[in-house]
Amino acid sequence: MDDTAAESSADFAAVPDAFQRLWTPHRAVYVGQGQSANDDDCPFCSAPTRSDDEALIVARGRHAYVVLNLFPYNPGHLLVCPYRHVATYDLATPDEIVEIAHLTQTAMRVLTDVSRAQGFNIGMNQGRVGGAGIAEHLHQHVVPRYGGDSNFFPIIAETKAVTRLLGDVRDAVAEAWPTASSASSATASPAP
């Protein structure tokens, strides 16, 4: 692959919009290369149909899964999504709510362990006016924070370089994720 052959962002589950001030350059990449051209394809519905490596998925539960954001605000930025294509939190079932909560807790523990995260921003943007990039499919952001992190955010122009780094992060997080037997039964992992 030559250096200019960046992977299409449409192939990843990603949310480009929140924290726009920190990550505006990637929004341009995102809009230019992917999602807008494939509006019919929901990235959060398609991601679980592919391999964990391909889709940057770090863990699969029964009702929800955890995936790296292609456009991280910080290294280790995860998204917790129900498999079901629902737009807002009030439409999630009790089972989905519980598992999203459990997966979020596990994500915090794993990121603290793997990346020495010192703090987190956790939350959901609801609706376009609420800042959701993929407003049609519910997703919870889990953004690890590190001391002084806002000072060294690089502006990485090449998507290829970003996805390479994300692959490394995915491997580390997936490896540290507790297995079904050691985690809550709510996070048992069926086969892909």
Q: Catalytic site residues? A: 139
Q: Is 116 in the site for Zn ion (CB under 5 A)?
A: no
Total interface residues for Zn ion by CB under 5 A: 5
Phi, psi of 171 (to 5 degrees): -60, -45
Phi, psi of 142 (to 5 degrees): -125, 105
Q: Is 85 in the site for Zn ion (CB under 5 A)?
A: yes
Q: Which is nearer to Zn ion, 45 or 165 (CB)?
A: 45
Has 141 been labeled as part of a binding site?
yes
Taking the C-alpha atoms of residue 97 and residue 19, their distance in angstroms, rounded to an integer, is 24
Q: Which of residues 120-149 bind Zn ion (CB under 5 A)?
A: 137
The contact pattern for Zn ion, residues 16-55, with x = CB under 5 A and - = no contact, is --------------------------x-xx----------
Has 151 been labeled as part of a binding site?
no
Query: Which residue of this chain has its Cβ atom nearest to Zn ion in the complex?
Result: 42
Q: Which is nearer to Zn ion, 30 or 44 (CB)?
A: 44
Give the nearest distance from C-beta 75 to Zn ion in angstroms. Answer: 26
Residues that bind Zn ion (CB under 5 A): 42, 44-45, 85, 137
